């Protein structure tokens, strides 16, 4: 018994007529709108499609602003745990910016050619609130972003931290120093999470030939810091502006080195665009060292505050000294900080003064 032809299947003559008709219709379209070239071979399309995890945070928002200013396409990914939409509100009108609410502990499927991995709460108040999630963000987040970089062959930069050095016995700290970290203390969720993330980055580099970059960020300050993040600069400024006592932990002789945010962002971008094969890690920070007492007195003077200094016990595992050796950054990136502490504090105080006036 003959089988009837399926509905919708054309005979040979019908197919030929169909394709001739289709060709006649589409040919004028391609003549009028020629095919767009590969982004790598034309200047009319942005070659850089950049993902910033934690892009609505303090550092992330400044990095977003910097990259948009040089005509890159930027995808900001943030779960807004410590990041704020307000930090990037002034950028939302830029057609090159996309914003996605996403937690990096879950995989992400996007197409990019550069990844800045900044996602992780960075102040003790925030990272100690949910220490298990903090470790997950550093470790699972690194695994997921490295997996994304592996699939897309993107260059990926890890925002590591000076906390990998712990309470150092070497001063200042060079990149070759392995650190002195308590693995079971209240700060360990952050310190060891970041150390594990570095391990993962270098293992992916060795095992999968990923193009990685690692920067170790020392204390950074500037506009858009969270007013209640527990970091010393924001703490002192907010207390001074509100006329409250300034709380100094310990005797105030412990030291820190403070880098203004614009300098730090400049270092990160230079590292991302450094020569292939140079992985770091690279210390990024300002080597000028100040005691907590010096910082408090400078902020009191610049803010014209009448606040008084009060002393409280030093928190557990709080390092006594922290100062970067930036010899490598100078040699390989041609970078060193330009903004001195007083000038940076003036900008930061002005930001917090405006912020407090509107709350």
DSSP character at residue 326? -
Q: Which of 98, 217, 230, 212 minimizes the C-alpha distance to 154?
A: 212
249 is catalytic: no
Chain mean position to CA 347: 21
Question: What's phi and psi for 61, nearest 5 deg?
Answer: -70, -35
The tokens for 344 are 């940076």
Select which of 190, 204, 221, 260 is catalytic.
190
Strands 255-257, 289-291: pairing is: antiparallel
Question: What's phi and psi for 62, nearest 5 deg?
Answer: -70, -40
Active-site residue set: 190
């Amino acid at each position: 018994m003959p089988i009837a032809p399926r509905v919708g299947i054309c005979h040979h003559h019908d197919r030929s007529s169909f394709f001739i008709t289709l060709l006649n219709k589409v040919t004028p379209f391609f003549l009028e709108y020629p095919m767009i070239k590969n982004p790598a071979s034309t200047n009319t399309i942005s070659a850089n499609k950049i993902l910033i995890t934690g892009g609505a945070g303090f550092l992330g928002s400044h990095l977003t602003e910097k990259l948009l200013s040089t005509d890159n396409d930027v995808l900001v990914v943030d779960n807004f745990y410590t990041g704020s939409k307000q930090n990037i509100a002034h950028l939302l009108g830029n057609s090159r910016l996309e914003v996605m609410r996403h937690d990096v502990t879950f995989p992400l499927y996007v197409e990019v050619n550069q990844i800045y991995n900044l996602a992780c709460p960075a102040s003790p108040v925030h990272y100690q609130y949910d220490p298990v999630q903090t470790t997950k963000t550093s470790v699972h987040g690194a695994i997921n972003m490295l997996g994304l970089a592996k699939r897309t062959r993107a260059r990926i930069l890890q925002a590591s931290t000076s906390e990998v050095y712990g309470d150092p016995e070497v001063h200042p700290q060079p990149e070759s120093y392995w650190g002195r970290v308590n693995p079971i203390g209240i700060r360990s969720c952050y310190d060891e999470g970041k150390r594990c993330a570095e391990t993962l980055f270098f293992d992916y580099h060795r095992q999968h030939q990923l193009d990685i970059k690692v920067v170790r960020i020392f204390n950074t300050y500037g506009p858009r810091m969270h007013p209640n993040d527990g970091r010393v600069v924001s703490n002192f400024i907010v207390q001074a502006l509100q006329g409250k006592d300034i709380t100094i932990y310990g005797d105030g002789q412990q030291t820190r080195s403070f880098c203004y945010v614009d300098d730090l962002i400049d270092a990160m971008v230079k590292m991302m665009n450094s020569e292939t094969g140079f992985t770091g890690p690279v210390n990024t920070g300002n080597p000028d060292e100040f005691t907590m007492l010096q910082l408090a007195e400078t902020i009191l003077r610049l803010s014209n505050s009448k606040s008084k200094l009060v002393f409280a016990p030093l928190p557990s595992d709080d390092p006594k000294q922290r100062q970067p050796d930036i010899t490598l950054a100078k040699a390989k990136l041609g970078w060193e900080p330009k903004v001195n502490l007083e000038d940076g504090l003036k900008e930061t105080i002005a930001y917090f003064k405006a912020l407090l006036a509107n709350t």
